[in-house]
Amino acid sequence: MAATRRELNYQKTSMTTYKSDFLNVLAERGFIHQVSEPEALDELARTSTITAYIGFDCTAASLHVGSLLPIMLLYWLQQTGHRPIALMGGGTTRVGDPSGKDESRRLLTDEAINDNLKAIREIFTRFLRFGEGASDAANDAIMANNADWLNSLNYIDFLRDVGRHFSINRMLALDSVKLRLERQQELSFLEFNYMILQAYDFVELYRRHGCVLQMGGSDQWGNIISGIDLGRRLNNAQFFALTSPLITTSSGAKMGKTAAGAVWLNADLVSPYDYWQYWRNTEDGDVERFLKLFTVLPLEEIARLAALKDQEINEAKKILATEATALVHGRAAADEAATTARTTFEEGGLGASLPTVEIDDLHTHVRVLDAAVRAGLVSSNGEARRLIRGGGLKVNDVTEHDETRLLTPDDLKDGVVKLSLGRKRHVLLKPV
């Protein structure tokens, strides 16, 4: 695959105004980082129904907050009349994408990949409308799995028909490969092939569903452009690329990472209340941007909320938390989380939907140090001791100063003990 100027550039900047609803919505809400041939894509989106896809790896049993932005891209694609494809990487997950990674991913078994795939399917039904039969609408979403075509490929045929279109020189020049090599970090032959497989996904989705647009994060630009070029060579068709910015917080932190780990979208990994709290703790400088990206509130309402200052900005954060939680966990769970937060922080109550941990020792006694570790508030007894010495641990809203304190049935309040780390993390301990 020769690297021409056109292939390397593909007009990496976006236009300021668009004629199509699809690109206008994305631009106004801050989703667009790069677009290939924006005028042609804009005209196509204005005059016809386009089909676009985003790929999702199956490396874990749940997607996380970092996956929300591409999910929202698919949401707005469908809301503006076009057809989204959520491509599950049942095949490419067996290889691993090197883009943005400093080391090789752990290889998963086929059984683990299939289990992960089943677990993450449900989240898409919260955002997309899928077809159910012969009466499907033209823009009903499609859930595809690239294992359907990648797992059955004949290696020699694939090298001859597809691999011959790829230049090693150009692949080595792409950031996803070059940065790993410059840092002298290992890049396996499996990962090196990922770009070819992703490009082939684009071709297969065009052949099967008429897909002409691939979207993704800005770190995927090189991979997507490879698919555009392969589609032109194999199908004499025009494909398009659209990437979104990689999201970090105002302080430079990576989106979706907390001290407790990744912010998962599945409720059995992160409760709706903890999910609500994640968004409630948004930095002031991120409120407007996150309202545009991660809620479906009208832009006029977002502008009103963004104008709030000082203490009033906390009201905007609560609305952000409730709206973002409603998209993932449903309105009822979001409202319950908001009520629990209000009860816990503003009224001094327990809050029915606070995370609950069962502690069998509460029938007799358990050290407050051990309870803090078992509740997941701290990682060790040593960390719990430091918190107590600094006044950072509370039992039933009372600051605890005694490292040797034992929790007993006498500490139960309405059948539970409330353990708090600072002002924002609370767990209910329940005897069993």
* Cβ-based burial of 169 (10 A; exposed 0-12, middle 13-18, buried ≥19): exposed
**pLDDT attached to residue 103:** 46
pLDDT score recorded for residue 297: 97
Q: Are the C-beta atoms of 34 and 221 separated by less than 8 Å?
A: yes
CB 299 within 8 A of CB 28: yes
**pLDDT reported for residue 2:** 40
Beta-bridge mates of residue 53: 85, 214
The dihedral formed by the CA atoms of 242, 248, 249 and 251, expressed in degrees to the nearest 10: -140
The encoded tokens of residue 213 equal 């647009």
CA 188 to chain centre: 26
Cβ-based neighbours of 267, under 8 Å, separated by 6 or more: 275, 329, 333
Position of tokens 């991979």? 223
Nearby residues of 401 by Cβ (< 8 Å), 6 or more positions away: 388, 391
Which stretch of DSSP H or E encloses residue 273? Answer: helix 272-280
Q: What is the DSSP letter of 285?
A: G
* DSSP per position, 26-45: HHHHT--SEESSHHHHHHHH
Q: What does the block give as tokens for 288?
A: 């407007």
Please name which of 217, 232, 212 lies closest in space to residue 45, comparing C-alpha atoms.
Answer: 212
List the chain residues with pLDDT less than 50. 1-9, 98, 100-104
Q: Look at strands 425-431 and 356-359 and give their pairing.
A: parallel
Are 351 and 426 a contacting pair, CB within 8 Å? Answer: yes
349, 422 in Cβ contact below 8 A? no
Q: 312-343 pLDDT, tens per residue?
A: 899 999 999 999 999 999 999 999 999 988 87
Question: How far is it, in rounded angstroms, from Cα 71 to Cα 124?
Answer: 8
What 3-state class would DSSP assign to 167?
A: coil
Which residues, 6 or more positions from 146, have their beta carbon under 8 angstroms from its beta carbon?
Answer: 55, 87, 88, 89, 90, 91, 92, 197, 201, 204
* Pair of tokens at residue 313: 């900005």
Residue 302: predicted pLDDT: 97
Which residues pair with residue 54 across a beta bridge? 86
CB-based contact 277:14 (threshold 8 Å) = no
- Residue 23 has a pLDDT of 97
To 10 degrees, the CA torsion angle through 268, 270, 272, 277?
A: 170
Token pair, residue 276, equals 């609500």
As beta bridge partners, residue 51 has 83
Kindly report each contact of residues 323-326 with a partner whose C-beta sits within 8 Å and lies 24 or more positions away, as own/partner: 323/291, 323/294, 323/295, 323/296, 323/297, 324/275, 324/279, 324/290, 324/294, 324/295, 325/272, 325/275, 325/276, 325/279
**φ, ψ (nearest 5 deg) of residue 143:** -105, 115
pLDDT of 7 reads 45
- The one-character DSSP state at 72 is H
For β-strands 425-431 and 417-421, DSSP reports them as antiparallel
